[in-house]
């Protein structure tokens, strides 16, 4: 009997690692995009603090210049979402300059969200199974199908929790159409998510440690973006994540 149990347990472990079929992969993509829809709506009801630090490094690794900004994503008294700058000392960057594309990447690309509406814009290819901090995941390669001038896109890898079907990590770089004369370069980055309120996988940190190859020569940079102190402001939207246990009991009408 003990041997039979061991055989059954081994079979269960093996079955969990079986690669999904093509139809199953399409189903997984559709489901995690739907979860991203719910996550994006939920995050709109949260306040948080965002801290951006960019270090321009010398060849020796010493810091030559620094850009820093601390801001709170909050709601006004009228319930309008806004950003309040808490700390923004003068930048000391020498060779680097913040551009509108850099600012757009910090706002929208580094905290990448792949919703159902965004799926048609990207090629999404299944890469296999992997783990992020011991969390079993499906790994997908994501690449824009085409790019419109003025818009920014993500290109890289995403890791999707194989149980909750939510993105827990992204790795890649921001991309988009630039003028031919432009010499802008964008770093590779990793963005991690963690559970907030026991349900939502929110962005908590972005890290970049890269060398940008400009026409004038290479430039090392380090960048960190922290998202912290998430607090729910208000919620007119009910997020269920298809959890039957989370549904309230039906109320019987009184005669």
Contact 215, 183 (CB under 8 A): yes
3-state secondary structure at position 25: helix
Per-residue b or e along 10-34, where b marks 16 or more CB atoms closer than 10 Å to that residue's CB: eeeeeeeeeeeeeeebeebbeebbb
For residues 7, 10, 243, 47, the Cα torsion angle rounded to the nearest 10 degrees is 160
The answer, yes or no, to whether residue 37 has pLDDT greater than 70, is yes
For 138-174, what is each residue's pLDDT tens digit?
999 999 999 998 899 999 999 999 999 999 999 999 9
- CA–CA dist 197, 16 (Å, integer): 28
Q: What residues contact 185, with CB distance under 8 A and at least 6 apart?
A: 212, 213, 214
Specify the pLDDT at position 224: 98
Per-residue b or e along 121-139, where b marks 16 or more CB atoms closer than 10 Å to that residue's CB: bbebebeebeeeeeeebbb
Specify the pLDDT at position 16: 52
If pLDDT is split at 50, 70 and 90, which confidence band does 234 have? Answer: low
Pairing mode, if any, of strands 63-75 and 153-161?
unpaired
Per-chain mean pLDDT for the chain: 87
If pLDDT is split at 50, 70 and 90, which confidence band does 78 have? Answer: confident
């Amino acid at each position: 009997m003990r041997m039979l149990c061991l055989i059954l347990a081994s079979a269960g472990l093996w079955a969990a690692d079986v690669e999904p079929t093509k139809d199953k992969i399409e189903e997984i993509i559709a489901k995690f995009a739907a979860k991203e829809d719910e996550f994006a709506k939920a995050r709109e009801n949260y306040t948080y603090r965002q801290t951006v630090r960019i270090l321009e490094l010398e060849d020796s690794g010493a810091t030559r210049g620094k850009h820093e900004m601390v801001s709170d994503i909050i709601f006004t008294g009228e319930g309008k979402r806004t950003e309040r700058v808490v700390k923004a000392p003068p930048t000391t960057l020498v060779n680097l300059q913040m551009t509108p594309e850099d600012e757009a990447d910090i706002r929208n690309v580094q905290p990448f969200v792949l919703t159902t509406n965004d799926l048609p814009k990207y090629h999404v290819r299944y890469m296999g199974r992997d783990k992020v901090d011991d969390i079993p995941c499906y790994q997908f390669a994501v690449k824009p199908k085409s790019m419109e001038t003025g818009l920014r896109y993500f290109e890289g890898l995403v890791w999707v929790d194989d149980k909750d079907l939510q993105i827990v990590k992204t790795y890649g770089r921001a991309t988009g159409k630039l003028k031919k004369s432009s010499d802008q370069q964008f770093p590779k980055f990793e963005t991690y998510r963690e559970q907030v309120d026991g349900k939502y996988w929110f962005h908590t940190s972005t890290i970049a440690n890269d060398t940008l190859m400009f026409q004038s020569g290479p430039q090392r940079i380090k960048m960190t973006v922290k998202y912290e102190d998430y607090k729910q402001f208000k919620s007119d939207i009910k997020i269920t994540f298809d959890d039957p246990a989370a549904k309230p009991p039906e109320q019987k009408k009184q005669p």
